[in-house]
Structure 1
Amino acid sequence: MDYLRIAVTDRCNLRCFYCMPAEGIQYLPKKELMSYEEILRVTQNLAELGVKKIRITGGEPFLRKDLMQLLRKITEIDGITSLNLTTNGVLTYPHLKELKEIGIDHINLSLDSLDKQNFFAITRRDEYNKVMQTLDGLLDHGIKTKINMVVMNGRNEHEIQAMAKLTKNKNISVRFIEEMPFNGSDDQNAKIFSAQDILDELKHHYPALQKIAQEPNSPSTAYQIPDYAGSLGIIAAYTRSFCGTCNRIRLTATGSIKNCLYDEGVLDVKGILRTGISDEALKETFIQTVQRKEVNGFVAEINRQKNTQITESMSTIGG
């Protein structure tokens, strides 16, 4: 495992269908969250074990106060070669200049609709203009940009072509993600617009669509429309066809290590940190934890013990 994804907040200022239930989520007291000092200690120890890439997540990470201080300190850790950020873009724009200065590798922007009305219907927030301002700012600052669109059957699959068109003149990657059951819903049997459905839709509009080389260990299968500046990707997050190459572990906002998005947390790292564990013992615990990684997300889901139905919020688990 060489890729750590860290959720820094349990809050998300967009209440998305795929992210949390309609009534929202109960925000936790600050003491229930990982402190920056604890996050840095975990990152330092994992870097010494071979982790090289860090992604900060949490819906909108900039809801967390003084986030830039954490990001700067992560860049100073020996062994960390890549620092990335996933954001819904609502509070990110004012920080783009500083993010560029600290050498952010790339930013993933969560954007599920290019239509202002549909954006509001999906997110239940009138934040479309801020998100688009962030997108324009990312391009203006020359920050490598990926757009993540969760394709939700009956809600936005009709916008796949419009999203793909963004890559015509912009050197960005648009990635279409299967909807996962992390939406706070009781309906676990809803029809998923699958990776194959997404590919079929793209090929319908772009028959010359070409499969291209992708980054090692990437969960995305990469494509390009001939003569377009950017690229496309399809992430089979629900059908889970990429599990065999997964090199990621996750640290949730509340301090749980997850070997897989579909497990329920395999180590309460916050709890053991607060017992005064030594760094040597901490590293040994991490090694033992990663060695228990399930073969794929289906096995991880089956082996859930406490919460057999998956309804966690994506904003809290470092998706």
Structure 2
Amino acid sequence: MLKDNHGRTINYLRLAVTDRCNLRCFYCMPEQGNNWLARTELLSWEEMLRLCRLTIGMGVNKIRITGGEPFVRKGIMPFLSELSQIKGLDNLTITTNGVVTAPLVPELKQMGIRSVNLSLDTLDRDRFLAITHRDEFDKVIETMHALISHRIEVKINAVVMDGKNTQDIPALVALTKELPVSVRFIEEMPFNGGGQHYQTLLWDHMQILQTIKNSHPKIAKIPDPQYSTSYNYKIPGHKGDVGIIAAYTRSFCGTCNRIRLTPQGVLKTCLYDNGGTNLKDILRSGANDEAVSSAIVAALATKAIDGHEAERTTYADGAHQSMAMIGG
């Protein structure tokens, strides 16, 4: 099993397959957009499969596919099909914005995809347009219902942003009454798409929870699964449940079991770390599997204890990459 320098087992890989996206959410991308990576700068599908096989052989049994938006990259479905068949991979999940996903749901189900995270910050069409700068609300809702109808677990990720969508909290919670979905409210990251750093956060975990309690005073804490990044709650009589992810306060870091691989092949041991090990360069240098595996082990030997330490030691100038470049 992979272990970091703090004795934590690492069994979860978040793989960003592209930096590109068909939405332009302000908290994820700079207003002017990213300088998109050239195709040659991206890991090829073959390189990704090699790295996945290696990490699975080292103890990783869960892989989440992220982006950017994964389904905008040509060739994603054959890649997912091949990845899903690797022995030792117990859990293959996807995070998507849902814009082009609905027609692909039957094939995802056939591959064995059991869970999908759907990014949806509002149930109001006008606010959706204001946040994403694209009029694609109906397609996202279509994807949600397609996933539910195919009995794929749906986790709705909503970033809570002061002055943008806090009025949507009750409506999103209401989804859990009749639908078997988990709605997870995410504290806004300590930086936005343009790299600006926030010194304070108005809508933290406790503020979000209190807002839900105002309408649902009987909401109750339920056990959190091992390695969960969310604090989970249940409202009596609701089919679904609610989670709150403390992305700003980072109170979940102590049990971190994950590593990240960016579209350009940089292995990041923490979301808040500005550094990383360039596995793409190692692969393309002709290194054998043993050398690549050694590089992964070496990277984990310097993993920060939590996001605060990682940010403090690598972002001295306060600047951050956009989330689309990091991998969600």
Name the TM-score, length of structure 2 as normaliser. 0.94
Letter in 1 for 2:288: S
Is the contact between residue 108 and residue 147 of structure 1 (CA under 8 Å) also seen in structure 2? yes
**Aligned residue among 28, 48, 52 for 1:19:** 28
Matched with 1:134 is 143
2: CA distance, partners of 1:182 / 1:56: 22
Is the contact between residue 56 and residue 318 of structure 1 (CA under 8 Å) also seen in structure 2? no
Please, which runs of 5 or more residues in structure 1 have no aligned partner? Answer: none
Paired residue secondary structure (1:166): helix
Identify the range of structure 1 (80-89 vs 68-77) with the bigger mean alpha-carbon deviation: 68-77
Matched with 1:146 is 155
Within a 5 Å distance, the mapping from 1:42-57 to structure 2 comes to 42-57=51-66
2: CA distance, partners of 1:53 / 1:191: 31
Is the contact between residue 19 and residue 327 of structure 2 (CA under 8 Å) also seen in structure 1? no
2: CA distance, partners of 1:140 / 1:59: 26
Is the contact between residue 12 and residue 60 of structure 2 (CA under 8 Å) also seen in structure 1? yes
Matched with 1:98 is 107
Paired residue secondary structure (1:234): strand
Is the contact between residue 186 and residue 247 of structure 2 (CA under 8 Å) also seen in structure 1? yes
Within a 5 Å distance, the mapping from 1:236-315 to structure 2 comes to 236-304=246-314, 308-315=317-324
**Aligned residue among 198, 206, 223 for 1:196:** 206
Q: CA deviation at 1:291?
A: 2.2
Letter in 2 for 1:162: A
**Aligned residue among 46, 61, 64 for 2:70:** 61
Paired residue secondary structure (1:227): coil
Q: CA deviation at 1:196?
A: 1.3
Paired residue secondary structure (2:327): coil
1: CA distance, partners of 2:282 / 2:258: 21
Is the contact between residue 262 and residue 310 of structure 1 (CA under 8 Å) also seen in structure 2? no
Letter in 2 for 1:204: N
Matched with 1:36 is 45
2: CA distance, partners of 1:8 / 1:184: 21
**Aligned residue among 125, 134, 140 for 1:116:** 125
Q: CA deviation at 1:105?
A: 2.2
1: CA distance, partners of 2:143 / 2:320: 29
Q: CA deviation at 1:166?
A: 0.3
Matched with 2:225 is 215
From the superposition, tell whether residues 192 and 270 of structure 1 become closer, same or farther in structure 2 (CA, over 3 Å): farther
Q: CA deviation at 1:138?
A: 0.9
Matched with 2:7 is none
Number of corresponding residues: 318
Is the contact between residue 114 and residue 159 of structure 1 (CA under 8 Å) also seen in structure 2? yes
2: CA distance, partners of 1:191 / 1:185: 16
Identify the range of structure 1 (46-55 vs 198-207) with the bigger mean alpha-carbon deviation: 198-207
1: CA distance, partners of 2:21 / 2:317: 24
1:101-160 residue CA offsets vs partner (Å, 9 max, x unmatched): 000020000000100000001111111111111111111111110000000011001111
Matched with 1:74 is 83
1:183-229 residue CA offsets vs partner (Å, 9 max, x unmatched): 22435336441111111111111110100012110100100111100
Paired residue secondary structure (1:303): helix
Is the contact between residue 178 and residue 192 of structure 1 (CA under 8 Å) also seen in structure 2? no
Name the TM-score, length of structure 1 as normaliser. 0.97
Query: Identical aligned pairs, as a percentage?
Result: 49
Matched with 2:6 is none
1:244-295 residue CA offsets vs partner (Å, 9 max, x unmatched): 0111100001111111110013201111111111101111111111121100
2: CA distance, partners of 1:215 / 1:183: 30
Please, which runs of 5 or more residues in structure 2 have no aligned partner? Answer: 1-9
CA RMSD of aligned residues (A): 1.3
1: CA distance, partners of 2:201 / 2:12: 31
Is the contact between residue 84 and residue 106 of structure 1 (CA under 8 Å) also seen in structure 2? yes
Q: CA deviation at 1:308?
A: 3.5
Is the contact between residue 208 and residue 226 of structure 1 (CA under 8 Å) also seen in structure 2? yes
Which portions of structure 1, spanning 4 or more consecutive aligned residues, are displaced by more than 4 angstroms?
A: none
From the superposition, tell whether residues 169 and 232 of structure 1 become closer, same or farther in structure 2 (CA, over 3 Å): same
1:177 and 2:186 matched: yes
